[in-house]
Structure 1
Amino acid sequence: MRDHIDFIQAQYLDWQAAERIGYPDARLKLLSEDYETGAVSTILTLPEHWERPAGAQPFDEEIYILDGTLTIEAMVYTAHCYAFLPAGYDANAIATRHGVTLLYFRSEPIEEGLRTDQAKIEARLVRQFDVSAGQWDGDFDKFGLGSMKAGARMRVLRQDPFSGETTYITATIAFRRGEQAERHPIAQEFFMLSGELAGPLGTMQAGAYCIRPPMAKHAPYGSPTGALILFRGFGGSQETFWEDTDPFTFYPEHRPILPDHLKPLGKRYPPQSRY
């Protein structure tokens, strides 16, 4: 079970030792954690010349590069590159020569049938996805988000062939605004990679993080600048249920939903000065 966080700016979170997740001599910012299963979502920074040998893990790992360069086996990953390393996958040696900062997501332990069957491991693997290359070709209608098509684009990074769990990126144009609230029957988290996003609970800047339980009401959202956001759903395939709500405003009151231990960090983050 994870805390409901909607939303916090990662800039206010402290760096801590990453040895707790098996990454010695590295640091992390803990975005959220499932206290029952050990699943975590973090910002992870690895120092220069850091490396991890290959070896199958009992959990899935998702990686999205924010800054720097990483290698997984012989493949090079730079900013805005993504990988999904499924449980049981053993070609997963990690190294960085000059240091790297990334979003790092780890699942709960995966059932044996998925992590020991080589065909299933290969079916779930996303070896590399470079968001800076290719076209914005994701299908909003597939996820019940068709009303966003006029003001946004999507790229699906992965969709699990067995669970339907999906990780994707959306990019919205400036002054795109929503009209209705949303609910999803799965848990969903997102991280703001760039831009600014206004919603019912305040205005999020780059670095904002949010995680909601199934069927939590959220939106409508709008962006005066445009925004780039990574979404990650777990617990099944994503559907969207729409409902009428209060009218959207670009100037919302700041009132995030946070667990008690994060409430002192729930202050508004100022936008970067333009002059």
Structure 2
Amino acid sequence: MARPHIEPFVDRDISFKRLDLKGIPPGYNYKMLSMDEDTGACTMSVQWDAGYRQPPSVCYSDLEIFIMDGTMKIGEKLCHKGEYLFIPRGVSMPSFSTETGCFALVMYNDTEPHLIESDEDIPGANRSELIQVQAYEGLSWEVPTLFPRTASGCLLKLLRFDHKTHAMTFLYTMTPGFRQDNISYHDCAEEAYHIWGSSWMMQFGDLPTGGYFWRPAYINHGAFYSEHGILGFGRTDGELHNHFHWNPYSTPEENAHRAAARFIRQKPELHKWLWAHGHNHIDFEYPDDIYNLESENERIHSHIHSELHKLGIPHSHEDS
């Protein structure tokens, strides 16, 4: 999910464009919210016109869809606002159609938008990972179990959790009068879209209905306030750990070094073991994945260096 920092952005400020790509039926209109220029992976707000028809199809990217207004018939099921789908790459989906039109968030996680007409899964596709859930009616709001925790009044509905990477897709709400007065950053990229409501953030101002951000790792954000509350859709590409602090002037590089220092301080034995065994770290649950950077220090430095390049921030290439 390597994309530039976009914050704040409001999709109500731009017009829809027609998505004119091979395999995409007419009536597919989009607003581009963020895009990885290397892979084409992207997040869009999409308006399907009344009468839109899409045959059974498959794509070579994980695909996420969240319906925000209107209805979409998927196979024999009529889906309303609040319907969420995670479609693993290579998994065939039945026909899509809408009589009245449909407005949704659409996320291609690996490639540019595309559809290939097919009613069969691609060999190797993992259909067991397919998710389809009515989030508004079928899930309850929960107090986040993340620690350190956000202030009281922020609630989650977890839509998808990747047990391998701890990446998450979720709905979240700030209740009226929500306030958090510290500053946070994370070790992962984070994105969010305001389905309804407005909130204020010290660094970036007001984010209203239709507001969006794509925030790479180690970017300061907060304090926060919402007078009337908000309903939002969010995603991360890794574990969402809240690194709270009170310095609004710290840089992403300083934040990354602080995160690395905290890792060494809080998990000293794991750090020592990684330093002493710098090659071929194998997770027996995922034996095909081998982590073989020279040391944990290099792993941390490589991650920090990569994030700083994504952000275009000047920094030293000397070993620290």
Q: Same fold (TM over 0.5)?
A: yes
The SS at the match of 2:20 is: helix
The alignment status of 1:210 with 2:193, answered yes or no, reads no
d(CA) in 2 for partners of 1:22 and 1:132? Answer: 33
State which of 132, 139, 142 in structure 2 corresponds to 1:127.
132
1:178 is matched with 180
How much does 1:67 deviate? 1.1
Higher RCO structure, 1 or 2 (CA under 8 Å, sep 6+): 1
d(CA) in 2 for partners of 1:50 and 1:166? Answer: 30
Alpha carbons of structure 1 residues 23 and 170: separation in structure 2 relative to 1, 3 Å: same
1:6 is matched with 7
1:217-228 correspondence runs (5 A)? 217-228=220-231
1:1-275 correspondence runs (5 A)? 1-20=2-21, 22-25=23-26, 26-109=28-111, 116-118=123-125, 120-122=126-128, 124-137=129-142, 140-142=144-146, 144=147, 146-148=149-151, 150-200=152-202, 201-234=204-237, 236-245=238-247
Q: Deviations over 1:116-140 (max 9, x none)?
A: 445x431x21122332344213x52
Cα contact 1:30–1:43 (8 A) shared by 2: yes
How much does 1:167 deviate? 0.6
How much does 1:23 deviate? 3.0
How much does 1:141 deviate? 2.4
- Percent identity over the alignment is 22
d(CA) in 1 for partners of 2:22 and 2:108? Answer: 9
d(CA) in 2 for partners of 1:239 and 1:20? Answer: 38
Whichever structure has more strand as a proportion of its residues is 1
d(CA) in 1 for partners of 2:224 and 2:95? Answer: 39
What amino acid maps onto 2:140 in structure 1? Q
| Greater C-alpha Rg | 2
The SS at the match of 2:137 is: coil
Alpha carbons of structure 1 residues 76 and 68: separation in structure 2 relative to 1, 3 Å: same
d(CA) in 2 for partners of 1:20 and 1:241? Answer: 41
Q: CA RMSD in A?
A: 2.0
Moved more, 37-46 or 49-58: 49-58
Alpha carbons of structure 1 residues 243 and 101: separation in structure 2 relative to 1, 3 Å: same
The SS at the match of 1:43 is: strand
* Unmatched 5+ stretches in structure 1: 110-114, 247-275
Cα contact 1:129–1:157 (8 A) shared by 2: no
Cα contact 1:72–1:92 (8 A) shared by 2: yes
How many pairs does the alignment contain? 236
How much does 1:32 deviate? 0.8
Cα contact 2:135–2:157 (8 A) shared by 1: no
Cα contact 1:67–1:100 (8 A) shared by 2: yes
Question: Normalising by structure 2, what TM-score?
Answer: 0.69
Q: Deviations over 1:116-175 (max 9, x none)?
A: 445x431x21122332344213x5223x35233x21211001112333221111111111
